[in-house]
Chains A and B, each alone.
Chain A
Amino acid sequence: MPSADFQTHPVFKRGVLPHIRLLIYITICVVMLVADLRFQYLESLREYLATLTYPLRAVAAEPVKLVGNATKYFSDLADSQFKHADFERRQIENAQRLLRFEYLEQENEHLRKLLGMRERVRTHSVSAEVLYSVPDPYSRKVILDQGKQKGVEPGLAVVDAEGLVGQITRVYPIQSEVTLITDRNQSVPVQVERNGQLGIMSGTGQGSLELRFVLADADIKAGDRLITSGLDGKFVPGLPVAKIESVEHDTGAFARIICQPLGGVERSTRVLVLSRAELPPPPPDPKTGEPPLPLPLATKREPGEEGD
């Protein structure tokens, strides 16, 4: 009879059995997956690990940058001259538009005051460079070289010279992640520039965009431009987003509308992060010396009281 207090010799101890350990690890992983995908609880852990591995990832991104720079260096002279001429032409075009813009903005502000409307929200912007696209094959995201330190926040719009490119979805201390508008899970509230028809635009994951939930008999045709409506409170209204490529009306209650992005989504290397910055506190009124009324009250002021 073996005695009840028989014990294994420590040499033969194996610890927890591998199957049990596997089960424990799988449980931990599943819990983490659900916590991250469903509830976004793990953002702080991700941020911590991202900061920890930042030097490693920065080093790893170097060879790709090197290849990019080398291709740029060896691109031929004619190409550079062509680009230069193109930039000069654009510069002149933009200069005259800018000159008019200053004047129009003043006029617009004046008219808005006369109508008793709220002043347009001013924006501030951060220029950033696209470092690389995220390796995850399921999503269309890129990493920018500016982060929390430069005032980048989740939810801000990312544009290039032609139009909207994406939205900031994650911010790390030195980098930030942009979900491009072509990503399947990215939606932008838009309106048709021609007639103001509202809609929600989503990515298809294949490089094109789809305007969803627009009634089949709506006044929309191929060639219309879509701009942000600003109804989400995050994007500045009026940013160009996409051009409608095809409209199919006979697909049930809603039309099937395919659009192509205007901005260089997945191509542009220099982008601008636009934020709807809060207005700076207005200077005190020179006549009374009192600070002006806060904005919600200011909208109710009579037009005659405007002192300019």
Chain B
Amino acid sequence: MQITNRSTRILQPTKPWFVYLSLFVALLLDYIPTGEMSSVLPDWVALVLAFWCIREPLYISMGMGFVLGLLVDVGSGGPMAQHALAYVVLAFMANSLARRVMWFPALLQALHVLPMLLIAQALMVGVRILAGEEFPGWQYFLSSATGVALWLPLTYLLLLPQFQPVDRDENRPI
């Protein structure tokens, strides 16, 4: 595994416990009641899910999106399976584009992720409009933009455990 497919640096393999831990932390961040700010802050679960769906398409896919979506729905108070539907579609898109996205540097990866997040949000808006609610305004889609802006730091944060050397040198710990 490399940082991107063009990179020559070979990283350590992904640690499954770290994947699950990061998704758990993302869920915790999503549960923080931010009130008015919630349309600006990113949807952490969607972001981390998209990240792992691109890095590890064989392990993290639609099933994980479905389960996480249900858990987010319970916290958000919306109808059940609204987020689940969005995350399943998001995971499918991220999985199927994974091979392509991995060839780009992180900033261009972010441009690939933006439409995925927007489509997921548009699906949720569509569901609610079908259910008889009003359009929440364009600022609702801002959270995708802030999420994508965080893609580069998130990449390095989530790959941190894989940057460790295989043979740990006692004299040079990093």
Contacts and interface: CB of A to CB of B under 8 A. Distances in A.
B10 to A, nearest CB: 24
Interface in A199-247: 205
B7 interface: no
A173 to B, nearest CB: 14
Contact of A49 (B38, B62, B70, B88): B70
Interface stretch (A30-38, A119-127, A300-308): A30-38
B33 A139 contact: no
A104 interface: no
Contact of B35 (A28, A133, A177): A133
A298 interface: no
Given A22-B92, A50-B74, A135-B75, A64 B85 contact: no
Contacts of B65: 25
Given A25-B66, A56-B28, A137 B74 contact: no
B136 interface: yes
A50 B31 CA distance: 12
Interface residues of B, number: 42
Contacts of B62: 18, 21-22, 25
A22 B85 CA distance: 10
Nearest to B125: A138
A132 B79 CA distance: 18
B32 interface: yes
B81 A18 contact: no
With most chain B CB atoms within 10 A of its CB, the pick from A50, A61, A138 is: A138
B66 A29 contact: yes
B105 interface: no
B5 interface: no
A36 B81 contact: yes
B74 to A, nearest CB: 4
Contacts of A57: 31, 75
Contacts of B73: 46
A42 interface: yes
B76 A135 contact: yes
Contacts of A184: 133-134
A60 interface: yes
A221 B53 CA distance: 60
A60 B85 contact: no
Contacts of B165: none
B155 interface: no
A45 B84 CA distance: 14
Contact of A137 (B88, B92, B140): B140
Size category of the binding interface on chain A: 35 or more
A136 interface: yes
B34 interface: yes
A146 to B, nearest CB: 17
A137 B38 CA distance: 8
Given A18-B92, A64-B34, A29 B28 contact: no
A205 to B, nearest CB: 7
B96 to A, nearest CB: 7
Contacts of B63: 25
A42 B61 CA distance: 25
B39 interface: yes
A288 B61 CA distance: 75
A33 B79 contact: yes
B74 A32 contact: no
Contacts of A46: 73-74, 80
A134 to B, nearest CB: 4
A22 B88 contact: yes
A157 B52 CA distance: 45
A32 B38 CA distance: 25
A63 B75 CA distance: 16
Contacts of A3: none
B77 A53 contact: no
A140 to B, nearest CB: 10
12 contacts: A25-B63, A26-B85, A26-B88, A29-B85, A33-B80, A33-B131, A42-B80, A60-B29, A60-B32, A60-B33, A137-B136, A137-B140
Interface of B: 27-29, 31-35, 38-39, 61-63, 65-66, 69-71, 73-82, 84-85, 88-89, 92, 95-96, 127-128, 131, 133-134, 136, 140
